Amino acid sequence: MHLSYALCRSIAWELPGNIPYEAKTRLINQFTTLWLAPAEKCLASINDVLDDVIQQLVKTHFGRFSILQDKISYVKITLSRRLMQTILYRGFIRPDIEDHKNRALAAVKETLALEITPIYTQNLKDFETLRGRWLNKYRKARQKPGEYRIRTTHPKVGGGKKNPIKKERTVLVNSTQGTDNDASPEERTVALPNEPLVTQGWSMFSPAVPEITSSETQALHYLAQAGYGGLTVDDLARLYPRDHQFEDELVVMADVRAYFTLAYKVRVILGADAVRG
Amino acid sequence: MEEISTLPKPLESDPQIEVLTRVSAFCDAFRAVVSGTGSDKRLAQRNRAFYTLFAQDIRGTSPDFRPFENPAQHVPLDALDSEDRAEVRNDRVQIMGVYEVRKTIRESVLFPPFSASFLRTV
């Protein structure tokens, strides 16, 4: 066991950039386990709608007979009561519906439990693009941490305590000035919510879209002159250097985050199909 | 007699044929509603609303990676494109900074004999 421990350490860990697959699957499982609850909720809602629709249809098509049934003591009808009941929802359709509902639930669970690997391999090109873009984003964020900084240390404090927050903010802004040498003063003035975060919605959290500076357009212009035409500002993000300290971590983040987007697209579509089928 | 006059007219055809016709009409209507081809689009519309909610819920589970040493001091990096932003994040999603990810990587490396894939083969 000591040997395998040592081997794994030397093979899987000591080689830079060789991240154990299990680290990613662990992080991936962290979010896929959160998918069953919304899936079941969605299916339950859809089943309710289905029940509702079926009951309305039964009323439209067989309503006349249920009235007859109510009045059956007054009028002798040749139609047998038992035959009616078997046709009516409760007797005949219901067990079938329940069977279908169970099958839909099983299908949803099966879809959620799909193996991780096929989603990579079947969408390799999309995956590569996505992970590249996320890696650029994370590298860029590490280059310019000031752009992404929250200006209060207590983001969940309500509006009633505005003054203390302002004080803390000032302190924090001051304390950052020593470390973020590359962050310009403009970048420090990213607006931050005063209201409790819960009510704000996540749009408040997205980093302000950086304006395309003239230096970037100039760079693109000179690159085009040098023969590197057809590039966009997004392509410049690829030039962010590897992070010397946390490159493996950034790669894992990018892989897992890209996988999320891919799996979200693949499985939500599959899930919808499973419910319909 | 008054009550009897409020009743529907008696069946003109054979009751069995009448029932079968109705069952068949019911099935056609049901099929149309489910496939969304009929005039009744309510099922499809209501379900689409639930799919949208479901998709939102799933987007809310996106991993909250913030590539910093003190991730709580930074905003989430959610939007690669505006389409995949998490509107309301599931509160079971943990914020993960570089050290948290490093810890996960190390945990996956340090004890490979006890990893999940190994245990399955035992």
pLDDT in tens, A154-187: 444 444 333 333 333 333 333 333 333 333 333 3
What is d(CA B41, CA A42) in angstroms, rounded to the nearest whole number?
19
**Is A91 touching B (CB cutoff 8 A)?**
no
d(CA A261, CA A258): 5
Question: To the nearest whole percent, how much of chain A has pLDDT over 90?
Answer: 1
ipTM above 0.85, yes or no: no
Closest chain B C-alpha to A259 CA, distance in angstroms: 10
As a whole-number percent, the residues of chain B with pLDDT over 90 amount to 11
User: Per-residue pLDDT for B118 more than 80?
Assistant: no
* Residue B28, CB-side half-sphere exposure with 13 Å CA sphere: 8
Residues in A touching B55 (Cβ below 8 Å): 264, 268
Per-residue pLDDT tens digits for A240-263: 777 778 888 898 999 899 888 888
Spell out which residues of chain B touch residue A84, defining contact as CB-CB under 8 Å: 19
- Provide mean pLDDT across the span B55-79: 87
Instruction: Give the A window 233-262 contacts with B, CB below 8 Å.
Output: 243, 245-246, 248-250, 252-253, 256-257, 260-261
CA distance A262 to A259: 5
* Integer Cα distance of A184 and A174 in angstroms: 13
Residues A85 and A91 sit within 8 Å (Cβ to Cβ)? yes
Give the list of residues 6+ apart from residue A226 with CB closer than 8 angstroms, or none. none
What local confidence, expressed as pLDDT, does residue A152 receive?
Answer: 61
Instruction: Report the chain B residue with the minimal C-alpha distance to residue A52.
Output: B43
Task: Residue B46: list chain A partners with CB under 8 A.
Answer: 49
pLDDT for A78 beyond 50: no
**Whether residue A71 has pLDDT greater than 50:** no
Please tell me the predicted confidence (pLDDT) of residue A3: 47
Domain-wise residue ranges, chain A: 2-115, 119-276
> pTM (2 decimals)?
0.64
- In this prediction, residue A205 carries a pLDDT of 40
Q: With both helix axes pointing from N to C terminus, report the angle between B42-59 and B15-35 in degrees, rounded to the nearest 10.
A: 40
Distance from CA of B47 to the nearest CA of A (A): 6
pLDDT tens per residue across span A177-223: 333 333 333 333 333 333 333 333 343 344 444 555 678 888 888 88
Coil, strand or helix at A138:
helix
pLDDT value for A110: 77
- Residue A137, classed as helix, strand or coil, is helix
Query: Closest residue of B to A11, CA-based?
Result: B109
What mean pLDDT, rounded, does chain B reach?
A: 76
